[in-house]
Each structure stands twice: as C-alpha cells, then as structure tokens.
C-alpha cells in the first residue's frame, strides 16, 4: 500500500476513531487528516511512539505545552485538537 492509499484508508476509518467514547483530544483524527503517523509525531516531539499512542487512544493526555507543539507541527489551532464537549461540566457553587 503506497502512502496515498494508506492516507485514504486512514481517512475512511476516521469515523470509527471519532465515535470512541470520552475522547478528550482529537490528535489521531488530525494526524489522519494531515496524512501523518504516530511514529512521525513521536519523532518530531522526541518522545516514545507508545506515548503518542496513549494520546491517540485517549489513555493519557499530553501536557499543555506539548499539545501546543503538536498544534504547531500539524499546522492547526490548539482547539482543533480538543473536544470541549467531552469535558465534564463545571457546576456553579
């Protein structure tokens, strides 16, 4: 499978990714949209691929500074990487 075919395949499966419950970040979805891989992001950030994998599956969240760096690398706004509707509501006291 060449890179264009892989990118198309990943885009077709974006809906599956987007339907996962309690996704706070959209890192994986944006990586797919930009035809980038977890490995590429890990190399750019100097972190282990398993770390990026945890972020992409929402098993862990990157620090804010790292999230800002990810946005810059992917040429998106930080809020494009977040799902604010998935955050718990803040109740007034």
Question: Residue 48's closest CA among 58, 35, 62?
Answer: 62
Q: What percent of the chain has pLDDT over 70?
A: 69
The set of residues, in sequence order, having a beta carbon less than 8 Å from that of 16 and lying 6+ positions away, is none
Question: Residue 23's closest CA among 79, 78, 87?
Answer: 87
Break the chain into its structural domains and give their ranges: 3-86
User: Residue 2, CB half-sphere, CA atoms under 13 Å: how many?
Assistant: 1
Q: What is the mean pLDDT of residues 2-28?
A: 64
pLDDT tens, position by position, 26-39: 999 999 999 999 99
What value does the mean pLDDT of the chain take? 83
pLDDT at 23: 78
Fold of 3-86: 434 Repressor (Amino-terminal Domain) (1.10.260)
pLDDT at 83: 83
pLDDT at 24: 86
Quickly list H helices, 1-93.
Answer: 3-12, 14-18, 27-33, 38-45, 49-56, 64-74
Residue 66 has pLDDT above 80, yes or no: yes
Token output for 26 = 């959209």
Alpha-carbon span 2 to 82, nearest angstrom: 30
pLDDT at 6: 61
């Amino acid at each position: 499978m060449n890179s264009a075919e892989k990118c198309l395949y990943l885009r077709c499966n974006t809906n599956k990714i987007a339907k996962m419950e309690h996704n706070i970040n959209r890192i994986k979805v944006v990586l797919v949209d930009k035809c980038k891989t977890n490995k590429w992001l890990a190399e750019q950030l100097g972190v282990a691929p398993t770390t990026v994998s945890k972020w992409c599956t929402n098993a862990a969240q990157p620090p804010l500074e790292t999230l800002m760096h990810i946005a810059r690398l992917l040429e998106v706004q930080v809020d494009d990487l977040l799902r604010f509707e998935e955050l718990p509501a803040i109740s007034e006291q």
